[in-house]
Each structure stands twice: as C-alpha cells, then as structure tokens.
Structure 1
Amino acid sequence: MMSHSVDSVRVEAPIRLLHVDDDQLLTGLLNDLVVQSHDDISLHSMHDCDGVLSYLETNDVDCVISDYEMPGTNGLELLDAVRQRWPDLPFILFTGQGDEEIAEKAINAGVTDYVQKRSGALQFALLLNRVRKAVEQRRARAALERELRIEKEHFRMALENSPFVAFRLDTDLRYTWVGNPHEDFEVEQVLGKRDDELLPPEAAETVMEPKRRALETGERVREEVTYELPSGVVTYDLTVEPLRDESGAVVGLTCASLDVTDRKAYERQLERDSQRTEAQFELLVDTVEDYAIFLLDPDGRVQTWNRGAENIKGYAREEVVGEHVSVFYPEDDVAAGVPERNLREAKAEGHFRGEGWRVRKDGSTFWADVRLTAIREDGEFLGYAKVTRDSTEQKRERDLLERKEQLEDLISAISHDLRGPLSVAAGNVELARRTDDLSRLDATSQALERATELLDHLGRLAKEGTQILTPKPTDLCEVAETAWSLVETGGAELVVEGSLTVVADPSRLQQLFENLFANSVAHAGPDVTVWVGPLDERDGFYVEDDGPGVPETERAKVFEMGYSTDTDGTGFGLAICNQIADAHGWDIGVTEGRRGGARFEMSSVGVA
C-alpha cells in the first residue's frame, strides 16, 4: 500500500475496498451491488493472494475483505502478512468456513471482524455494514491520534520554552515522568527515584513534605520551598496536584516547579535597600529642625515625630504620639471643626495647603504654613503626611510691608486733603491780622477743626492697620446690633435678616459695621433703613440701605483712600472697610440694593 498514513484519511473520503476471493461469481456480485447502490464505496477485486501485498504497496486501501480457503495462501496467512506491514488496516475475514477453530485463530491473529458467507443479498448488506463500521472506527481513531500528537507537540514546545520543570510521581513519591528537566539532572538519573535518593537529607525532607501533604489530604498544595545544596541556597515555587483514577482514588502526583532563587535574592536586596533608604530618610527627617514633619493615621492621630516638630510645637515624642492633630489648633478652630475640615479636604483632593494660627504646648501661638498630603498604597488610604513651618516672622514682615504701603497711601491722601483747610486757615489769619476783622477767626477755627478731623481719621486708620487679627466663630447679628448702638443714627432703623456665624475677628468686624452704618446715615439721611443678613448663594453677608445708592460709574472708586462724594467726608470710612475685609481674606463689593439703595457684599467669608 502506498503509505496508508492515517494523517491523510478524511471522514468524507470514499471507502476503498480490496476484495480477495477465488470465487469470481461472488466477487462479481459484490462489485455489482457496490456499483449500483453504494456511491461512496470503490471496490477492487483479486482472485488469489499473490499480488495483494504489491497492490497494498501502491494503492490506498481502507479495508481488506478476504476469503479463508483459497489456492496457495489462505486468508489467515494473508492476514498475518498484512499485519506485519500494516497493523491497523481493517481486515475482515469473509468465508464460508464456519469452523470455530478458524474464527479463534483469526481473532488471535488480529482480524478486525469475521463474517460468515450466506446465501442471498443479505450477506453482502451485513458485510458492507461491518466494513463501514470498521473504517469509521479506524478513521475516528486516526483523527484522535492526530489531535493527540498535535497536543503533545504543543505541550512539548510550551514546556521546552517554559521556566517550569514538570513531573509526575507515584504514591511512593518516585519520579515516573519528567518534562523539561532541570539542567543539573538528566531524565535517566531521576526516573524511578525519590528526592531522598537525589538530594541531601535536609533538602530532601523540605521538598518531600508538601508532596506527602498533597497525598494525605488529596488537596492541591502550592508553596515556596527553600533548601541548601552544595552549590548554594535555592528557592522553588512548587505546585503539587493529586492525580486520580476513574474512581477518584489518588494514584500519584502531578507537579510543577519554578526556580525563583534569583527573584528571591533580588527581592531580599530590594528589601535591604528599602530598609536602608527608609532608615536614611527617617534620619534625614529627624535631623530637620526648621520643619515639623510627621505622619498621621487615617483618624488624624500622630504616629511619628521629628526634631523639628519638637522644636516648633514644644511636645516631646512620647507626649504627642497618639494625640489627635486638633491638639495643635486654637480652641475656636476646634469648635468650628477646622481640623476635621482640613483632613477631609486632604483625603478628598489628595492634599491641603493653608495658613493659620497654631498652639504650642506652653499655650503660645505661632503662624503656621501647613501642607497636608493623603497617603495611599494600591488604592488603600493609609493616613496623612504633614509638614508645618513656623512662618510667624514671615507673616509679621508681610503685614508690616502691607501696613507700610497703606500708610504711604494715607500720608499722600492726608497731605493732599490737609492743604485745603490749612490754606483757608492761613488766609483768614492773614486777613484778620491786616484788617483787625476777628470774624475771620471763625472760618479759621472751622478749617482747623476739619484738619483735626482728618488727623483723627488718620490715627484710627493707622491703628486699624497695626492690629493683628484673632479670628474665631462670631455671631454676625450680635456684632451688627452692637455696632449700630455705637453709631449716631438719629431716626434710622436696623433690620437683621436671618442668622449667620462667621469666622472673624469680632473687634474688626464691629468696626466694619460701624463704618458701613455711618456711611448709610451720611449719604441716605437720618431716616434711612439698613438691612443686614447672609448672602443667598455664597458664604458671606451684606449691608444694604434704601438711600440713593452708589452710581455704577463710582462703584470702583468708593474703596480708594480719601475718595468721597460728600464735600464734608474724609474718604477713609470705606477704605477702612476694604482694609478689614482684605485682612480677613474676604472680597468686598458694592452694587444696587433691592430697594435701589447701596448694597455692600462681603463674600469668600469663612463660616462656622
């Protein structure tokens, strides 16, 4: 036969039969039946055994049908010859000899099937049915073998390119198969042996323990095993899977082993480097004296403490670790929830930066520049890192610079405004001296009173500029009512709408109200009504009257130093309001009120 390669067989291919029988009438009848009724079968007939092997050498045949009793070589002898060359080729003995001895010999010789000849067409239907069955079984077996070979080749290639060593053990823990063996071992050295026959005693016990456990429990075991060999310490990632038979009984183990020695060495080196780096960082942080650098847990409690923190805040490490960060805030800030608000912002946004007053252990305060950073690892929130710097001197210098600039503006404005009354006074004194008209001294007195008033406002403004803010939660309505009682309001009326608690310096807030109330009375008259209340859509408050209001073209100028639309005004009242608002970090503006009057709005106001 040409090759009879099972890889070339296709299920849909026609069935090719070779029929060997010396009865030409019988072969002719079978051939006619195939031609007439079986399009998927091709049949070649031979009448003796002499040319059968040659035919099989040169032709593809799916099944041989042979008689038993023939001249020369009989069917069993032909079967034996075919089996030697083509052991899986279907061979059906189709004979009239019904001897059980012949059937037994045929089966022992490897016959595929045994069909006894009978009279009529039924014998051929039975024969062809057996042929189809034999060919289909062979083709199915060939397809399965082909798939197995492909899978085995894929597995072999994958194993050869894999860092894993795969192997199987019997229940005595002896190696029965090794794929992709370790370079230190040949397969022949390992097969049939146990680890205690291949490794030093301690190493063997380390390796065998998880294997025994898998046998005893019937469960998968995976763990890292580390042991020492003459060449050094090695570590393997070992997986052991129980192997079971059809009944579920454990009959061995399937194992995979990955050499992770280099990886573990690298991890140990990384750990050492990390520990060394952490130690160096901790030493660096601890030696910093100008910054308080420490960690907080997720609840805001102190976990670490450096030398700078001790210097700035006054607490020793053992006194403060475990305390909540609110211990460093003024009482008013704690009551207003400032510490928790800062922690929430840092956690939500990733960081928080701000400035404010903080309290030392001895009760003294300092101006702090604070940075608070949320710490996360693999998405898990671990706490906060906090860095604090004592910026009291910087704040003092900044405030002094601002006051210097303000005073320069004041001096310039006052110098300008004093020229008028002083010129009037000087002119009237000169006229009185020349004419002896003492009535001129009345105008001189009024001019000097105006100059004195300007100097008084200058003193008040300078005093306001030197005050340091002490903000705390303050009742807006209470301060407004106090300020109203201290202003000459005549028949004016104050209406307080709603309630609001703001974070402000109470004294400076009162001064702001006094100046705004005085401004309303001065420009709207003694019968003015003034309203005070919180803003609707922003954090802040307003002061509004029902007077003539401020023209839109003048609104950008009203807070300038010395600006006034009143000939008797100093131009300092609203400038002081602007200064107070700016000191708090507020925005101040003027617009038209609900009743057409002036409406002053303070926004970006901290509320408690």
Structure 2
Amino acid sequence: MSNSEIIVLYVNDDPDLLTLVSTRLEREHNRLTVRTAHSAADGREIFEMGDIDCILSDYHMPVETGVDLLRSVREQDREIPFILFTETGDEAVASESISAGVTDYVIQDTIGNQSELLARKICSYVDTRRQNQQIAYENAQLQELSENTDDALWVFSADWGTVRFVNAAYEKIFAHPVSELQENPQSFVHRIAAEDRDRIQQAMKRASDGHSVQIEYRVNKSDALQLWVESRCKPITDAKGDVDFIVGFTRDITERKLHDQQLVEKNAQLEQFTSTVAHDLRNPLNVADGYIDLAREAHDSPYLKTAAGALSRMNTLINELLTLAKEGAVLKDRRKITLSELVQTSSQNILMPEATLEIRDSKQIRCDPARTIEAIENILRNAIEHGGPSVTIIAGMLEDGTGFYIEDTGPGIPDAERTVVFDRGYSNSAHGTGFGLAIVKQVVDAHEWEIRVTEGAHGGARFEISDVEITD
C-alpha cells in the first residue's frame, strides 16, 4: 500500500502555478500523478469521474472558491483528503475551510519550493485513509462472519468485568439478551446449570491467570430445556506478558453428547451380547476340540487333522470377530510408549519361531498401547501368513517423522488389492479369516491416524502409519 500510485487533483486558475506545482510534485515523489483543473467546476467534474485519491486546491478562483469546491466534494465523500494550498492567510478563510471539513490548510510561500512538504502530507493523508478503509473492510467482513455462525463468539476483559465483543449467536445459545450481558458481563453464569457453575468459575479464573481453557457444561435454556455446550478460550497478553483480554467461543454440542450417550449404551448392549455369544460358541467348540484330540489318540486319520485345523480356524475367527465387535472405535488409554516396546510385545503374543524381527529405529509415540499392540500383532500375522514362517519383518520410523512402518520380505500385496485389504472378510489366503487387517484399520481410525499399503525395500508388503504423535 505504501508504494502504490496516488492520483492527485490540483485545482488553480493560474496556469503558471498549475504547471509549476504539478511538475514539482511528480518530480518530488514517483508515487504521485497529478491531474489539473483550471476552475472549481472543472475540478468537480474530474473528481466525479472517480480515481482521485487527494485534492489540492487554491482558494481564490473566479465564480467559485476552493471552499465552495470543498463543500461540494464533502457532500459526496467525507473522507477524501482535501488540502487548501493558497497564498491567503486570512483567519476567516481558515475558519471557513475547517468548518467545511478541510483536511489541511497550507499557506503558499512567495519564494521557495514547498513540493517536499506537500508531497509528504499528500502521501501521509492518502495512506492513512487507505489503511482505515482496509480496516473498515476487514471489520465488516469479520462482523458478517460472526453474525453468520451458530457459535457464540465473545471477547471479555481479563477480569471478566467488561464485554468487548459478543455476536448474536450468544442469545440463541444462552437464551439471554446480549444487552443484559453487556450490562452485567458475568450474568451468563446464572444461565449455567447449578452443578456446573463451580467448574465454570474455576475455568474463568484459569483463563484470567493466563491459561487456555476448554470445558463442557450444561446451559438451562428454559425450565424444560437444557443444552450441552462447549466453550474454548485463550488469554491474549500485552507486551509485558499480562493478560489484556480473553477471546473465545461457545457452541451447542447437545446432539454430539446425545450421540455419545447412545453409543455408550449400544456398546454396553453389544458387549453383553458378544460375551453371551462367545460363551455359547466356545463351549461346544471346546467340546468338539477335546473329543477330536481323544479320537486322534486312538486313530491316526487325516480327516481328524483337517477337522482339528477347522476348529482352530473357527477359534481364531471368533476371537477376531469379538475384537471387532467389543472394541469398536473407542480408545481407553493414551500414553507414551516406544515403537520397539510395542513391536516386541506384539511378537511375543503370536507364534513366529522361524521368523526374523528387525527394529531399525524407535521413538516414543502417544497411543493406546493395548489397541496398538493388537494392530501390530495382526500385521505380523499377515506377514507370516503370506510370507511363510521364515519371513523377515522390519519395523522403524518413517523418514519424514510422521509415524512408523512395518514391512516384510514376503511376496507383497498387488496394486489392485491395496485398496481392499482392509475390508472386513477380505482375504486371499486359504488360512486367513479376512478380519486381521480390518482390525488394523479400525485401530488406526480410532487413533485418527492414516495407513497406506505400499511395497517394501525387499518387494514385500509395507504398512506405513502416519499422522502419529511422536514424543520426546
């Protein structure tokens, strides 16, 4: 903005001064382009054509004076810089000019070049006006945005004693007039459910002490209606580090809370159901497995071996189905743990006597260890199923620092199958259940991570898990 062109309209009935001042101004600063007019009427016509940033005018002119021109300009534009540059130092003229809204009044010296002074004033006034216009435009956009959101946006003083800003959505959420909030800034607390007020007041104090806050609580919108809302706020400090004001927003999360409650109830019902099913399935399965073992002691038959294998596969299938059904997308615990510890623990939970496990590098990640171990176990099983018992499995951190990988030296996964390997029930192995990698995807999604399948350094399958929180 400070380097952009400025178009100046200079009005003077003296042709010599018109040419002299215009030439000097343009030479003084390369930002200035001067258009000229020989009378107030001509000047008004040029101004009304637009694109003028500043008007410089003489006072004494025939028919109409510079102040007459000023008055007509102010009827159309109250802000455009208007400088009277005249040889008249009359107090009455100066008073008349100020009353009409002149920006500045400069008396022309008889001898000397005042172009530097004029150029500096013109640039300063125009730049200030443009900055104010930009601020006004941005404020209008922010105001429009704030009034077109369902979130209550607000700004309080550091002690919560003054409301600096609040949008109309506040009244919709709290059922409380904005005017009353502005009159009594802490009156919103009385709209909060009594059992949550202490927590809110403690959160307000933490914000005043300089801490960002996120809190969920209930609002009594009416005697019969209560909302769940979430508020987030951040203290803004001054140059000394003291809290100057607090900005934040409040949004209605009632629908989300109801959904969470329904999900908890459904999960409880599902867990009860799966426990019952597991019991009813495993009992006859154990009986069949026991009698097959007894039969194999008495008879060496390949049919009994096949039946025993089928029962083993049924047991694996039941375990994986129960895992999918009971665990869902819920994480129970997140903490820091190293990748090497996760992989080593996973390898101890499966049979891999001939396989080789290499951990190239390891860092701490933040995760639910039990669920992550469960996912890694299934990746290791997948490697053994497809790569054979003597497969080599390699784990390490991604080079870009966003997560970790596990790859093997097996045959790999064809491009056409990489988008479907995580589908439930999909398997290209005669011994696979099709649920192992579905469990992996479920755990990854629960952590809000990303997973992709690609080709490893040795041609085998490579699983890259990214968007992982890596910690020191």
Query: Given the two structures, how large is their TM-score scaled by the length of structure 2?
Result: 0.50
Q: Which has the higher contact order (CA 8 A, sep 6+)?
A: 2
